[in-house]
């Protein structure tokens, strides 16, 4: 997954083309597999809508994303643990799609939520964000260039800006996991995750006004990068809720 983490970037300009049969099959099998729906605390059941090439079932994105071939989303209760799981489960899929050459972009603001919610969500449930996906076009369109100027996607905080180190050994042991978390996407590139490295590693968020919901999704996304890197590095870790922080990572020997 490290390779996909490094390669991934938000794609907002796609080639007008349906998903290939192989890719549709891959995604359908992936989302039907219960293992892939498991969050840290709850299951997140994913849906895919493939776009008709004639544009008849289009989801509006206010011109910010062009010609995507499909969207993936889930409906969840509006609760912190579900929002964290939403980021965790969907980002793993984003990385799997990156691996097989499918471009993606998380959308939390620039999509028409209402019609999707009324069609798919049960009373009280939300669709906090969606993933648009498809085949990346080589050029960027104007709105994409503008959004990239505003969100400065390549810019990430230095590790020292979001990490408090209380135990240097733990920090050294997990430096690659923290670096992979640093590369995670977040709403408006706000990178709200804050971590305290002691004997265990604790996760918090620095929420900005109007980003309360997104920062919880962002935390789940960041934690998925951390977790998948740890697994790839052969570490056995447990992520649990914590009383004084939001999450705590415990290394299991
Ligand atoms: C929860 C979430 C919501 C997002 N919402 C939008 C959105 O509404 N419109 C958009 O163009 N990009 C959106 N993005 C993409 C971010 O702007 C992008 O991930 C960030 O700027 C970092 O750039 P990168 O993904 O290319 O690394 C969202 C990302 C996340 C994680």
pLDDT number for residue 253: 67
pLDDT digits (tens, 9 = 90+) for 226-236: 999 999 999 99
pLDDT number for residue 56: 72
The answer, yes or no, to whether residue 212 has pLDDT greater than 70, is yes
Asked whether the whole model's pTM tops 0.85, one would answer: yes
Secondary structure of residue 152 in the 3-state scheme? coil
Map out the domains of the chain as residue ranges.
2-147, 159-251
Q: Report angle CA 111, 180, 145 to the nearest 5 degrees.
A: 40
> Which of 6, 9, 10 has most ligand 1 atoms within 8 Å of its beta carbon, as the pocket-test mutant?
10
Q: Are 224 and 91 in contact (CB under 8 A)?
A: yes
pLDDT digits (tens, 9 = 90+) for 63-92: 789 999 999 999 999 999 999 999 999 999
Rounded to whole angstroms, the Cα distance separating 40 from 69 reads 29
Q: 159-251 sits in which CATH class?
A: alpha beta
C-alpha 188 to ligand 1 mean position (Å): 6
Q: Look at the block and give the residue holding tokens 């007008």.
A: 16
The answer, yes or no, to whether residue 61 has pLDDT greater than 90, is no
Q: Which two tokens stand for residue 132?
A: 């648009």
Give the nearest ligand 1 atom to 87 CA: 1
pLDDT digits (tens, 9 = 90+) for 146-200: 888 887 777 999 999 999 999 999 999 999 999 999 999 999 999 999 999 999 9
pLDDT number for residue 51: 87
The answer, yes or no, to whether residue 52 has pLDDT greater than 90, is no
Residue 204 main-chain phi, psi, to 5 deg: -135, 175
Give the nearest ligand 1 atom to 153 CA: 23
Pick the CATH number of 2-147 from 3.30.420.40, 3.40.190.10, 3.40.109.10, 3.90.1150.10: 3.40.109.10
Q: Give the helix/strand (H/E) hosting 133.
A: strand 130-134
pLDDT number for residue 60: 84
């Amino acid at each position: 997954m490290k390779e996909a983490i490094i390669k991934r970037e938000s794609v907002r300009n796609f080639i007008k083309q349906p998903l290939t049969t192989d890719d549709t099959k891959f995604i359908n099998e992936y989302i039907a597999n219960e293992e892939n729906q498991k969050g840290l605390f709850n299951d997140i059941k994913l849906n895919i809508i493939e776009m008709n090439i004639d544009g008849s079932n289009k989801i509006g994105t206010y011109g910010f994303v062009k010609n995507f071939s499909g969207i993936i989303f889930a409906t969840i209760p509006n609760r912190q643990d579900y929002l964290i799981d939403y980021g965790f489960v969907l980002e793993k899929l984003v990385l799997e799609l990156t691996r097989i050459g499918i471009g993606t972009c998380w959308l939390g603001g620039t999509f028409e939520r209402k019609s999707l919610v009324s069609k798919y969500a049960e009373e009280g449930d939300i669709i906090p964000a969606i993933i648009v996906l498809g085949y990346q076009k080589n050029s960027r369109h104007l709105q994409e260039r503008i959004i990239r100027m505003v969100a400065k996607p390549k810019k990430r905080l230095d590790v020292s800006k979001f990490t408090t180190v209380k135990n240097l050994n733990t920090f050294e042991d997990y430096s690659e996991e923290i670096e992979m978390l640093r590369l995670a996407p977040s709403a408006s590139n706000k990178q709200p995750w804050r971590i305290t490295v002691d004997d265990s590693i604790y996760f918090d968020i620095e929420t900005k006004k109007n980003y309360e919901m997104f920062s919880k999704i962002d935390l789940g996304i960041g934690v998925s990068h951390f977790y998948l890197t740890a697994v790839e590095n052969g570490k056995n870790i447990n992520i649990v809720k914590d009383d004084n922080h939001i999450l705590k990572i415990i290394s299991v020997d």
